[in-house]
Structure 1
Amino acid sequence: MELVVVIIILGILAVVAAPKFINLKSDALIASLKGFQGALKSANTLVYSKAVLSGQEKLDPGSVTVNGTTISTTVGYITSLSANVAVAIDGSFEVMTNANDAITADWGLYDVSGGNVYIFPKGYDINGNCSLRYFIDGTKPADPIFYALTTTGC
């Protein structure tokens, strides 16, 4: 009898507690954003290498050609503009004109004044707290790249 009671109590605890510990959608969105960040870092490495080889690593603005596509650069790195990120990385992107636009592509890209690009997964916008922020600061040539993940709303 005690065993049955223990099993029932454990079952109830599992049903109540499991969703709090297992949030697969959130984990998947966060992993997607981290994957995008990794892809952007890799693309920046390739673009910077091309910029160095062509003497463009100190120019603001500059440009390099990768696979026949011209990518604008800031001190050798991908300039932080939505259209530029979409050209540098292969994927399904939609450049948003407003921060709250509905995204139909896999990723939304939104330019904010000051040279920031926000990258959102489908179904999110600037208010969703589920994004990657990308920024290049040409005044800091030693460490100009800035990536910031916001995942509290994923």
Structure 2
Amino acid sequence: MAIKSFMGKRAKDTKGTTSEIKVSDYMTRKLITFKPDQSVMEVMTSLIKNKISGGPVVNDKNELLGIISEGDCMKQISESRYYNMPMDNMKVEKHMVSNVDTIDGNMNVFDAANKFLETKRRRFPIVENGKLVGQISQKDVLKAALKLNGQTWK
């Protein structure tokens, strides 16, 4: 009796293919940023208009100061209503998250995916030489995975 192998044709070795896929290849470079002296109301308007869930806060030198998100704005809405205080005077610098994790643009995009899972973050800024150069989101990682569909995941 002959033994048949049901193993399909092996794909060509693509060694090194995915290790060269960097965060910088998939990050967004044209960012909507906010200033620390902007009002939270302006941020909310911008988030809705641009269909984004948050963005980096930078100074005039494009240095990253923090991130403000929908969640930060929601907190202010809730507190404003609870304490019956108007939101007109609320500034970004008092309501942003200033302890921000960043990712190196040279990091492998799949290592970045792991960092997203570990930290439960939705976005990571990329800083080079002290300046904000981009941001990678979970959606950017999904785009990278789709582009590599069918290749080995090394």
| Interval of TM-score (by shorter of Structure 1 and Structure 2) | under 0.3
TM-score normalised by structure 1 residue count? 0.27
TM-score normalised by structure 2 residue count? 0.27
Q: Specify which structure has the higher proportion of strand.
A: 1
